[in-house]
Amino acid sequence: MNLFDFTLKIKGFPLAAAREHLQQTQSIPAKDKGDYQREQALKIANYHLKNTAFYRDLVGRETITDFSELPLLTKADLQQPLADRLSEEYTTGKVYVNKTSGSSGHPFIFAKDKFAHALTWAFIMQQFGQYNLDFNRSYQARFYGIPLKFPGYQKERLKDLLSQRYRFPIFDLQEKELEKILKQFKNRKFEYINGYTSSIVLFAKFLRDKGLVLTEVCPSLRLCLVTSEMLFESDRMLLETHLGVPVINEYGASELDLIAFTAPDGSFAINTDNLFVEVVDDAGSPVHMGSPGRLIITSLYNKAHPFIRYDIGDLGIIDEDEKGKPYLKELIGRTNDIAHLPSGKTVPGLTFYYVTKSVIEDSGKVKEFVVIQKEIDRFLVRYVSDQALTETETATMEKALETYLETGLHLDFEHCQTIVRSARGKLKQFSSEYHG
């Protein structure tokens, strides 16, 4: 019995119709796909201008012929009661309702009509299927957060049971807990790992320190899929070496869909079937292909709630391959994770994190760390390791900042036993507390 498919069906999500629709859109020739996306984007925009008072009031028009004239929709725009944002053809009782993680600083409740949500699952299952993973049968080792209160905890455990997965707690990943996780891999026939990048990287470092390759103790393991946090190339190499399996990456948003997914050819392919993705500058104007900018996304089929020219809050670079197929060349970080420097320069916070990471890992003893901007010229590096960094190591790090960023920057270091994660288990790698 295909339990996962059956669960979606009894909840009213038309998975079969969604799969048929997906096949139709994927049969469109690559040379015509862009035109199809733009036509569908204009169509869904006019649908919501006609049927959704919230969106009509935001745009100030009842119809549109030029999609690029539509304003960007921000998360702040959506922080009002869900019932006030729904299309008049839907009610909260007849749609899929969920909430975002709030990692951007603007949490909100969102909705999808049931067909749009079924499309999301049809696409996800298809992408996993490229690697011979089956949601109904393949056994997943899950590195995710879980609600700690009883009702939410039991609900997630039931979902895990129905979805062929076993969840590891990731709020406390000290060595004794990692030992417990390793024991589960010895006793269970997991086929793939799925979860937050930082938690799986920490587990891989634990394996490295023990001189282990995970497939030696769990030979059924075939793949690792990381999500929700940045995947650096050095971390990919670490994971593939000590997990013993290929690593693929996904980028998505719960309110939208799977946005990009590692294709078998290694490219980070954009979801052009359910979404229309643009890249714009700070003024909202499109940038040239291959240039960095804000990622703006339109959900092409969600009639319950408008996500049209939606500023997801991330910076990235989209390019095209030799066949004209778009792919996510680089995910730079969040637009609100900006480091302001004394010279007046602003850089994505992840750049600062990356420079620090390139040096701190040379020590070989730091398990994980985060960077926090405290003042315009002062940053705190909070790190986990068995031994504190030496003065020579910290001085080397400050020198690297001068080389890659600018002079006059100061680092403070805080040696910790563990780093606090968000309520959902995510690790925010860079944050700023400077508001000057």
Q: How far apart, in whole angstroms, are the C-alpha atoms of residue 46 and residue 64?
A: 6
Same domain, 71 and 188: yes
Higher pLDDT, 393 or 221: 221
Query: Does 42 have pLDDT greater than 70?
Result: yes
Exposure string of 150-167, with b = 16+ CB inside 10 Å and e = fewer, is eeeeeebeeebeeebbeb
Q: How many residues does the chain have?
A: 436
Same domain, 240 and 183: yes
Same domain, 348 and 329: no
Same domain, 163 and 273: yes
Across 307-328, average pLDDT: 90
Q: How far apart, in whole angstroms, are the C-alpha atoms of residue 196 and residue 422?
A: 12
Question: Sorting pLDDT into bands at 50, 70 and 90, what band is 104?
Answer: very low
**Residue 167 near residue 146 (C-beta atoms within 8 A):** yes
**Residue 248 near residue 200 (C-beta atoms within 8 A):** no
Q: Which residue range(s) make up the domain with 373? A: 338-432
Same domain, 171 and 184: yes
Higher pLDDT, 171 or 33: 33
Burial of 433 (0-12, 13-18, 19+ CB in 10 A): exposed
> Angle 150-162/3-10 helices, nearest 10 degrees?
120
Same domain, 328 and 345: no
Q: How far apart, in whole angstroms, are the C-alpha atoms of residue 102 and residue 191?
A: 31
- Measure Cα distances from 164 to 12, 181, 305 in Å: 21, 17, 31
Query: Does 106 have pLDDT greater than 60?
Result: no
Read off φ and ψ for residue 17, nearest 5 degrees: -65, -35
| Domain at 140, CATH number | 3.40.50.12780
* Structure confidence at residue 305 (pLDDT): 97
Same domain, 297 and 362: no
Across 388-403, average pLDDT: 86
Same domain, 310 and 377: no
pLDDT digits (tens, 9 = 90+) for 110-161: 999 999 999 999 999 999 999 999 888 899 999 887 666 667 677 777 777 7
Q: What is the amino acid identity at position 227? A: T
Read off φ and ψ for residue 330, nearest 5 degrees: -155, 135
Q: What is the amino acid identity at position 353? A: Y
Q: How far apart, in whole angstroms, are the C-alpha atoms of residue 325 and residue 267?
A: 10
Across 236-251, average pLDDT: 95
Higher pLDDT, 336 or 331: 331
Question: What's 386's DSSP letter?
Answer: S
Among residues 301, 333, 365, the one where a domain terminates is 333
Same domain, 88 and 154: yes
Retrieve residue 141's tokens: 């080792």
Helix (H, G, I), strand (E, B) or coil at 376: coil
Q: How far apart, in whole angstroms, are the C-alpha atoms of residue 373 and residue 360?
A: 17
Q: In total, how many domains does the chain have?
A: 2
Q: How far apart, in whole angstroms, are the C-alpha atoms of residue 296 and residue 163?
A: 31
Q: Among 203, 204, 252, 249, which Cα is nearest to 226's?
A: 249
Q: Which of 27-31, 37-41, 268-272 bottoms out in mean pLDDT, i.e. has the lowest?
A: 27-31
Across 311-319, average pLDDT: 91
Same domain, 306 and 359: no
Same domain, 211 and 238: yes
Among residues 293, 313, 333, the one where a domain terminates is 333
| Domain at 404, CATH number | 3.30.300.30
Q: Which of 159-168, 212-221, 380-389 bottoms out in mean pLDDT, i.e. has the lowest?
A: 159-168
**Residue 372 near residue 416 (C-beta atoms within 8 A):** no
Among residues 275, 301, 333, the one where a domain terminates is 333
- Alpha helix (H) residue ranges in 244-294: none
pLDDT digits (tens, 9 = 90+) for 360-389: 776 667 888 888 989 999 999 998 888 888
Same domain, 104 and 241: yes
